[in-house]
């Protein structure tokens, strides 16, 4: 039996890169993937191809590329033993500012693509009666924030499907884990995308939702910069989860994720939502601001 084969999507930056760096110090064979335009980042971080590291282009939304990477892993390394669905995007927009095309993009990257990759690797895992699928979820998959509805929808979907999968494949010896990071001290929050409509509202002071974007963007940036968790600390949690004999279905990967998970379990739902609403930055100004003179 060779070294376990790990396939990581979105591995050229951020959390994906941290996971790759953590695992390449251990006894694994790695298939590190990223969009073709991002492959040069691996060399910038000292990661080169070797006997146990492949660097492959992968747009997770393209079916032909998903099938090709899994087929190559099956043919040359006997299949994927550990799949880490890390690639994802975040759209910042209120519900009114999300079009059907925006929703399709968000769901395709964050939900449909990881589930399809999972579908492709499962036959070999079932045959070997071992394997582990780790889906990188988020606190946004256990609670929703204003201006991030579509992102939360994609993570809620990923959580629901992963929970069903946990029951389905457990009889075959295959594990399923949802990794739930909260705020991470990185530049990830700077890569959140606006939709066309939300960008216009953000830039227009008299827009009904201008202050939603103004305050939430600043709030998220401040909290992220003060967060104790880093991509490396979350990656270490993921490595421990991979090497756990009985990995759990859900793993809160940051302190705030653990707090929010505890709040959801212990507080009456009405009180829980009231606390979160009153904790939103300057929320009393969001609506009335529209009627004030500049």
Active site residues: 137, 151, 155
Q: Which residues contact residue 170 at a Cβ distance below 8 angstroms, ignoring those fewer than 6 apart?
A: 176
d(CA 294, CA 292): 6
Question: Do residues 84 and 118 lie in contact, with contact meaning Cβ atoms separated by under 8 Å?
Answer: no
Nearest to 38 by CA among 27, 26, 47, 51: 47
First to last CA, the chain: 70
d(CA 65, CA 71): 10
Residue 122 CA from chain centroid, whole number: 20
- Computed on alpha carbons and rounded to an integer, the radius of gyration of the chain in Å comes to 20
Nearest to 162 by CA among 104, 130, 122: 122
d(CA 192, CA 170): 35
Q: Using CB atoms within 10 Å of the CB of residue 172, give its burial: 0 to 12 exposed, 13 to 18 middle, 19+ buried.
A: middle
Question: Do residues 44 and 55 lie in contact, with contact meaning Cβ atoms separated by under 8 Å?
Answer: no
* Angle between helix 231-242 and 14-23 (nearest 10): 50
């Amino acid at each position: 039996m060779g070294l376990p084969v790990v396939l990581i999507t979105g591995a050229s930056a951020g959390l994906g890169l941290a996971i790759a760096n953590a695992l390449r110090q251990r006894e694994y064979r790695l298939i590190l993937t990223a969009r073709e335009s991002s492959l040069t980042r691996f060399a910038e971080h000292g990661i080169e191809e070797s006997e146990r590291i492949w660097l492959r282009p992968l747009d997770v939304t393209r079916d032909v590329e998903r099938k090709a990477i899994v087929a190559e892993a099956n043919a040359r390394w006997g299949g994927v033993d550990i799949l880490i669905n890390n690639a994802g995007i975040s759209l910042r927009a209120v519900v009114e500012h999300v079009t059907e095309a925006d929703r399709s993009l968000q769901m395709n990257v964050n939900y449909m693509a990881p589930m399809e990759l999972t579908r492709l690797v499962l036959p070999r895992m079932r045959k070997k009666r071992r394997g582990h699928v780790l889906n990188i979820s988020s606190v946004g998959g256990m609670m929703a924030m204003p201006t991030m509805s579509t992102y939360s929808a994609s993570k809620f979907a990923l959580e629901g499907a992963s929970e069903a999968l946990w029951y389905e494949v457990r009889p075959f010896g295959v594990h399923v884990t949802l990794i739930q990071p909260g705020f991470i001290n990185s530049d990830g929050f700077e890569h959140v995308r606006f939709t066309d409509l939300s960008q216009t509202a953000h830039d227009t002071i008299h827009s009904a939702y201008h202050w939603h974007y103004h305050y939430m963007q600043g709030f998220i940036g401040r909290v992220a910069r003060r967060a104790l968790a880093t991509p490396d600390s979350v990656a270490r949690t993921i490595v421990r989860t991979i090497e756990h004999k009985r990995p759990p279905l859900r793993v809160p990967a940051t302190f705030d994720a653990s707090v929010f998970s505890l709040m959801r379990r212990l507080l009456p739902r009405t009180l829980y939502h009231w606390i979160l609403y009153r904790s939103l930055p300057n929320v009393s100004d969001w609506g009335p601001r529209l009627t004030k003179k500049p």
